[in-house]
Amino acid sequence: MAKEKDDNYWRERLTPEEFHVCREGGTERPFTGEYWDTFEDGKYLCRCCGKRLFNAESKFDAGCGWPSFDAEAEQGAVAERVDNSLGMQRTEIVCANCGCHLGHVFPDGPTETGLRYCVNSLSVKLDPDEKAE
């Protein structure tokens, strides 16, 4: 993971909402994020560091109100952490490069991977000009 930046660094670069989700592990409300129902071509990049995390080809409608993907763009783009908050055990996903909180991954995806990466729109940026390689 890239060298950790302090909160002041991120507060200068992110909106208050982005900071809450990306750096404090917050969650945006379902069906409110910019990308929950977007299906354009391109790459989804980390909002904080710009690393490619997901390709549009792996995005699907999970009906949950958050952007959902069945695979990361390349192995190791996303790191996992145990999340025991809210009385549940879940798997948190973060950008492997900068530690930006992305959301959670669940083993209930409808494709052959069996995974559903459930991601906050505030944690990513769609680059529609770049097709996945």
- Is 107 a member of any domain? yes
Look at residue 88 in the predicted model and tell me its pLDDT. Answer: 79
Look at residue 89 in the predicted model and tell me its pLDDT. Answer: 86
Q: Is 127 helix (H, G, I), strand (E, B) or coil?
A: strand
Is 22 considered catalytic here? no
Count CB atoms within 10 A of the CB of residue 51. 17
User: The domain containing residue 71 runs over which residues?
Assistant: 7-127
- Is 132 a member of any domain? no
Q: Give me the catalytic one of 22, 48, 100, 118.
A: 118
* Total of domains in the chain: 1
Binding-site positions for Zn(2+): 46, 49, 95, 98
Count CB atoms within 10 A of the CB of residue 73. 21
What CATH code is carried by the domain that includes residue 88? 2.170.150.20
> What Å distances lie between residue 51 and 36, 56, 78, 86, 115, CA to CA?
20, 14, 10, 29, 21
Q: By the 8 A CB rule, do 120 and 46 touch?
A: no
Per-residue pLDDT of the chain (133 residues; tens, 9 = 90+): 444 688 889 999 999 999 999 999 999 999 999 999 999 999 999 999 999 999 999 999 999 999 999 999 999 999 999 888 878 788 999 999 999 999 999 999 999 999 999 999 999 999 997 555 5
Residue 100 makes CB contacts below 8 A (sequence gap 6+) with 22, 23, 46, 47, 48, 49, 94, 123
E strand or H helix at 122:
none
- Is 133 a member of any domain? no
Look at residue 5 in the predicted model and tell me its pLDDT. Answer: 82
- Is 2 a member of any domain? no
- Is 25 a member of any domain? yes
Q: By the 8 A CB rule, do 72 and 117 touch?
A: yes
Q: By the 8 A CB rule, do 99 and 85 touch?
A: no
> What Å distances lie between residue 13 and 85, 94, 130, CA to CA?
27, 18, 23
